[in-house]
Amino acid sequence: MNIGQAAKISGLTIKTVRYYDNIGLVMAYQDPENQYRVYSKDDIAKLQFIGRARRFGFSIQECRELLSLYQDKNRPSREVKELTLEKLSKIDNKLDELKNLRKQLYRLSKSCSGDDRPDCPILDALASEN
Amino acid sequence: MNIGQAAKISGLTIKTVRYYDNIGLVMAYQDPENQYRVYSKDDIAKLQFIGRARRFGFSIQECRELLSLYQDKNRPSREVKELTLEKLSKIDNKLDELKNLRKQLYRLSKSCSGDDRPDCPILDALASEN
DNA sequence: AAAAAGCTTCTTGTGGCAGGAAGGTAGAGA
DNA sequence: TCTCTACCTTCCTGCCACAAGAAGCTTTTT
């Protein structure tokens, strides 16, 4: 199967699939005649797997780890769960950060009349020491 | 004032300050003798301003806009408020996204026993069509 | 036969810097 | 005077995860 088909089925773009080949994440067999990448069913499964993991917010590096765990039929499920919990905690941190930011920005926006007058507490806040 | 002082006072790194000079965000006067960047009080104020705006999650481009609004004493506060509200809505979108992600990942992690056995619903979920 | 779609490689750009190389400069201390 | 340290400069590369596009093949369709 060529890269176009592989991309379509896996729900990724051609560029992305080629990129994954370049960085050695999912390497395709290369036809000696025309240099085209050829994808097996197994490759497709990996691409789909990665696509889903990416949608779950896992980084490429994490996908790499998940993939190797996925292919190792004897690994303990603990390892996968740990990776997932780590990810979860990172997301929680990011959530806290964003919530704080939101609160501060919201306060700022509230304080500004937002009309034709030039007085703007938002800019004042950004300009002042506190 | 040299870049080291400017960086310290504004709470940014030297690299960052130099970067802002390069991209024309806050351009320093250049001493013809030794090519050193020289920062005025006004420049410092801008750097601090940008530092705060960045901490509020504004992008460089948005900082550029805020800065020009900041320097224009006659602009209506409406413009600044609009920019802030846009930012707020972007943050809200990101929050929703992250919350959904968190929920899904949490469910996955819950479903996995996380022990020495190889059975792992997380990997199963990432591998299956749904 | 010609056009289209599909494939290849390669380079560049994105955002917002960090890190480091290679070298000039200024001031303090031995 | 020499050296040490600290500070400054420019320029290049790396990070992440690709997207966009150029130039040039091949394959399929009309």
B57 with A101: Cβ contact below 8 A: yes
Retrieve residue B59's tokens.
């992008």
Task: Quote the crossing angle between the two packed helices B3-10 and B14-22, to the nearest 10°.
Answer: 110
What pLDDT, in 10s, does the model give residues A17-75? Answer: 999 998 999 999 988 888 889 999 999 999 999 999 998 889 999 999 999 999 888 99
Residue whose CA is minimally distant from C19 C1': B15
How far is it, in rounded angstroms, from Cα A53 to Cα A56? 5
What's the gap in Å between the CA of B8 and the closest CA on chain A?
14
Interatomic distance A37 CA / C8 C1' (Å): 9
- Residue B49 touches partner A, C-beta closer than 8 Å: yes
What pLDDT, in 10s, does the model give residues B42-93? Answer: 999 999 999 999 988 899 999 999 999 999 989 999 999 999 999 999 999 9
How far is it, in rounded angstroms, from Cα A62 to Cα A60? 5
Retrieve residue B56's tokens.
């509020």
Contact assessment for residue B106 and residue B81, using Cβ atoms and an 8 Å cutoff = no
Averaged confidence pLDDT in chain A: 90
- Residue A27 touches partner B, C-beta closer than 8 Å: no
Q: A67: nearest CA in chain B? A: B123
Closest CA to A6 of A37, A52, A50, A49: A37
Does the pLDDT of residue A129 top 70, yes or no? no
Instruction: Say what percent of chain A tops pLDDT 90.
Output: 57
- Residue B111 touches partner A, C-beta closer than 8 Å: no
Q: What is the pLDDT at residue B130?
A: 60
Protein-contacted positions of strand D (CB under 7 Å): 7-10, 16-20, 26-27
Does the pLDDT of residue B121 top 90, yes or no? yes
